[in-house]
Structure 1
Amino acid sequence: MTKFTTRLPLIGIGVFAVLLLVVAPAVLSEHWISNLGKYCCLAIAAVGIGLAWGRGGMLVMGQGVFFGLGAYAMAMHLTLETAGPGALPGFMILYDPLAPLPAFWEPFRSEVFTLVAIVLLPVIVSAILGYALFKRRVKGAYFAILTQALAVALAVLISSTIRETGGDTGLSNFKYFFGYVLNDEANKLMVYLIAAALLVVCLLAVWQFNRSRFGELLVATRDAEERVRFLGYDPANIKLFAFVVAAVMASIGGAMFVPIVGIITPQEIGASASILMIAGVALGGRASLFGPALGAMAIGWGQSSLGSSWPEGWIYILGLIFIFVILFLPMGLSSLFDRAKGLIRRSSDEPGPATPELREVVK
């Protein structure tokens, strides 16, 4: 493998970064910048799914849990920042103006605590869940069902705690983002640039993981778990690390989703939201570097455009995408690029027509 081929993904990340951070802000309107920021948040979660599912073979169908942990941590801070020092959030005043602020809300007044919680909460939850499942060698459909059930449980819990979390209406009407006024156009651009930069950082992290010793062990665990165990490695620890990294990326995506979209509800973190993330990764190509991110952006665009103008038809289109990918492109659209490279290499290896000198030698 040549040095250029090895660095090709890094060059691709550089081009992608220029498109997101330089070209997009220069040519897109404020509306489309906001939409692209939303797609970047979904792509951040999808990059983590690509690492856990594409490289590790773990069908994580409950990433809405970790997306929701980051989103609600950020939303609670922004809600308290909007309410002001010592004040109750508006939705709590409607239910009981004299009730004290719930104890678990109080630490989220701190910016530092909020940022730490966005990273630490998914680490704790995913580590406990992953350890319990992987050490018992739970995998395949059972693992997928359990993770999705957790997403459903979290969405139901939030829906039922109206006074503490806003219930089905969620948290919204944020005015500030760590001291910056969200309605200001320059600040909206700043939030988008942060989300886009975080997506690039996540791509760089996964690229580094894939080419490291850990990446080799993760693929080996996916393809031959018993052989990895025979060689002295614990497959549970390898999968656990990938699962935790994917959870942190989903939480970061959820945290940036809140100031960009301006609302978070249980519908954004439940089973259907988790399935949409999986659909994007499957469409783009779960085992590739850019496939999960681009697929998630495509699904996000489809949901925003077709889902709002033609909601009934969008469901059918999404179903057709699933069927098409499963039947014809099980490795996603990124496999078309690999097939094209294979055809080019095959055609270049075919012998050309014999020259007159060669025909004389043969005779």
Structure 2
Amino acid sequence: MSPSSTLPGRLRSIAASSWSGYALLALVLLVVMPLSLDIFRLNLVGKYLSYAFVAVGLVMLWGYGGVLSLGQGVFFGLGGYAMAMFLKLEASDAKSTAIQSTPGIPDFMDWNQITALPWWWEPFRHLPVALIGVVLVPMALAFLVSFAMFRRRVGGVYFAIITQAIALILSVLIIGQQGFTGGVNGITDLKTMLGWDIRTDSARMILYFANVILLFAAIALCRWIQRTKLGVLLLAMRDKEDRVRFSGYDVAMFKVFVFCLAAGLAGIGGAMFTLQVGFMSPSFVGIVPSIEMVIFAAVGGRMSLVGAIWGTLLVNAGKTYFSESFPDLWLFLMAALFIGVVVAFPDGLAGLYSKYIRRKPAEDAATPAEGVPGKTA
């Protein structure tokens, strides 16, 4: 059998993790963790899973599209700020802010002598607008950046550096415009959503399950894309971009699409982070968090949607454990974890699973039966 004849099967194998992997992940997230963790730890896991939206987007962007972005924190932060603006406006009603010089505006605006709500804040008084903004604002910026870059065939390390620069610029801009964004402290003291107190234990439990459901919906969307002709073209574009271009396909628009998809997913993750943690700040927008998000995908396996989630959980759980148990050494321990995983398992946790677990039954099935030449067991 020629190698080319096995290509569709290989693509299907890459495009979809085994159903057992999805079932195991669902069992752990929906049953094991809620039953075994207290609400504080479960809320931490919910925070970790909000980062997993970014990692899933990076699987599509970096693993399938071959486009490495080191600025995904930008889109995570924009989605988080869109949700935080709605929540802050709800918490800044005239009654709650009666002691301010200008009632009815966020407290940080009053502290900075701003006397009227900026026009671009006004639409975020409405939850539907905020929910649309969670996805649309990151995707709009992603479209502007990627269309300008990919049309000029800017890619590779140059594009990665540009995304880093955007992350730095946006974090500096948010900090500098303190009166409009809350500055270095961000948007804090978020209490309710449509009158529902998001700080209670029951609300945190509901938000955790909502986060998991949305995450599986994101996985289903990406898996569907992987199994379509578009997914095959993304892989072909990653490996042989010139051949795809010479075949008549618009490679630049494929890259724009997958970059916008990753940005939209990151925005959803940012919104869920804001709801579960109760604030959003520029510390999640800059270069460092953006690089950490790439590490989540790399540790899990940049070709695996499920692996990206496991990688996100592993890295963040290690970060929490090391910082609590070894406050003076945790940065070094985290670095050792990153380097060790990448060196020992270059394909991430998903590659480890595929090499030592998933392939073993197939190898056993192909072993000739004892005493019967040519017959398989």
Aligned partner of 1:117 in structure 2 is: 133
Percent same amino acid among aligned pairs?
38
Q: 2:41 aligns with which of 32, 45, 48?
A: 32
Report the equivalent of 1:42: 51
Rounded to whole Å, the distance in 1 between the matches of 2:128 and 2:174 is: 24
- State whether structure 2 residue 78 is matched by structure 1 residue 62: no
AA aligned to 1:108 is: F
Q: Which residue does 2:282 correspond to in 1?
A: 266
Alignment of 1:128 with 2:144, yes or no, is yes
CA-CA distance at 1:14 after TM superposition: 4.2
The 3 A distance-change label for structure 1 pair 115 and 159 is: same
Structure-2 separation of matches of 1:270 and 1:249: 18
In the aligned structure 2, how far is the partner of 1:205 from the partner of 1:22? 23
1:50–1:281 Cα contact (<8 Å) kept: yes
Q: Does 2:97 align with 1:84?
A: no
Partner Cα distance (1:218, 1:132) in 2: 20
Give the AA of the match of 2:310.
Answer: L
* Pairwise CA distance, 1:195: 1.1
* 1:1-363 correspondence runs (5 A): 9-10=18-19, 12-84=21-93, 87-96=104-113, 99-340=115-356, 341-342=358-359, 345-346=362-363, 348-351=365-368, 353-354=370-371
* Greater CA drift, 345-354 or 327-336: 345-354
- TM-score normalised per structure 2: 0.87
Contact 1:9 1:207 in 2 (8 A): no
SS of the aligned residue for 2:305 comes to coil
In the aligned structure 2, how far is the partner of 1:123 from the partner of 1:100?
29
Alpha-carbon distance between aligned partners in 1 of 2:26 and 2:369, rounded to the nearest angstrom: 41
CA distance in 1, matches of 2:163, 2:239: 22
Quote how far apart the aligned CAs of 1:299 are.
1.6
Post-superposition offset of 1:99: 1.4
Spell out, residue by residue over 1:26-64, the C-alpha distance to the aligned partner (whole angstroms, 9 max, x if none).
332111121111011011111001110111111111000
**Which deviations, in whole Å up to 9, do the C-alpha atoms of 1:252-280 show, x marking residues without a partner?**
00011012112211111111101111111
Q: Specify the alignment match of 2:4 in structure 1.
A: none
Shift of 1:9: 3.5
Work out the CA distance in 1 between the residues paired with 2:319 and 2:306.
20
C-alpha distance in 1, partners of 2:136/2:251?
23
Cα gap change, 1:158/1:308 in structure 2, threshold over 3 Å: closer, same or farther?
farther
Is the CA contact (8 Å cut-off) linking 1:52 and 1:242 kept in structure 2? Answer: yes
Q: Distance in 2 between matches of 1:84 and 1:10?
A: 48
Residues 86-125 of structure 1 deviation map (CA, whole Å, 9 limit, x = unaligned): 71112222232x6111222121111111011111111211
Gap change, CA 1:191 and 1:93, over 3 Å in 2: same
Q: Distance in 2 between matches of 1:33 and 1:268?
A: 21
| CA gap 1:186/1:353 in 2 versus in 1, 3 angstroms | closer
**Hey, what's the Cα distance between the residues in 2 that align with 1:64 and 1:77?**
20
In structure 1, the partner of 2:6 is none
TM-score, length-scaled by structure 1: 0.90
Deviates more, 1:231-240 or 1:300-309: 300-309
Would the alpha carbon gap of residues 238 and 188 (structure 1) be closer, same or farther in structure 2, given more than 3 Å must change? Answer: same
CA–CA distance in 2 between the matches of 1:308 and 1:240? 41
Contact 1:283 1:321 in 2 (8 A): no
Confirm or deny: 8 A CA contact 2:301 2:349 kept in the other structure.
yes
Q: How many residues align?
A: 354
Q: Which residue of 2 aligns with 1:361?
A: none
What residue identity is the alignment partner of 1:34?
A: N
> What amino acid does structure 1 have at the position aligned with 2:104?
A
Q: CA RMSD in A?
A: 2.3
Partners of 1:48 and 1:321 in 2: CA distance: 23
Could you say what secondary structure the match of 1:263 adopts? coil
Maintained 8 Å contact 1:13/1:204: no
Secondary structure of 2:105's match?
A: coil
5+ residue gaps, structure 2: 1-8, 95-102
CA distance, structure 2, for counterparts of residue 212 and residue 11 of structure 1: 22
